[in-house]
Structure 1
Amino acid sequence: MVCIPCTVIPVLLWFYKKCLEPYIYPLISPFVSRLWPKKAMPESNDKNKGKGDYKDAGINGLTTRGTAEISDKKKH
């Protein structure tokens, strides 16, 4: 059984997004743009930041070599 808020909240959000937002957002967008400027975070010139070496990663993000070694040990 699903609780009432778990069904009502998504329906209300869908109704807002599809029916009310196209009319309400143009009215509140000037106020929102004043509160949150476009550049909230400074840009970084380091293009390699956050990039990792994923060439040995499997489906779940685990290295395929490590899982192959474990499976080889189980076979012996």
Structure 2
Amino acid sequence: MVCIPCIVIPVLLWVYKKFLEPYIYPVIAPFIKRVWPKKAVEETTAAKRVQFESNGIANGVGAKKSTEISDKKAD
């Protein structure tokens, strides 16, 4: 048996996204832009990109790998 919130919450989210958001979002968008500026998001992604390019290592794995293709069958 599925609990009531597991059914009601997705339905309410769908109703909001489909019918209410087109009318509500233009009203609240200016307030959201003041609270959460886009520059902050762009600066963090740019900083991560520069750090990756400078040291050449991603997640502890070397960026340069061998490009040789080995033949499994040697007749």
More helix as a share of residues:
2
Count of residues in Structure 1 that have an aligned counterpart in Structure 2: 54
Q: 1:2 is paired with a residue of what secondary structure?
A: coil
Q: Which residue of 2 aligns with 1:38?
A: 38
How far has the Cα of 1:39 moved from its partner? Answer: 1.9
Gaps of 5+ in 1: 54-76
Unaligned runs of 5+ residues in structure 2 are 62-75
Q: Distance in 1 between matches of 2:58 and 2:39?
A: 22
Identity of aligned residues (%): 60
d(CA) in 1 for partners of 2:25 and 2:7? Answer: 25
Give 1 or 2: higher strand fraction: 2
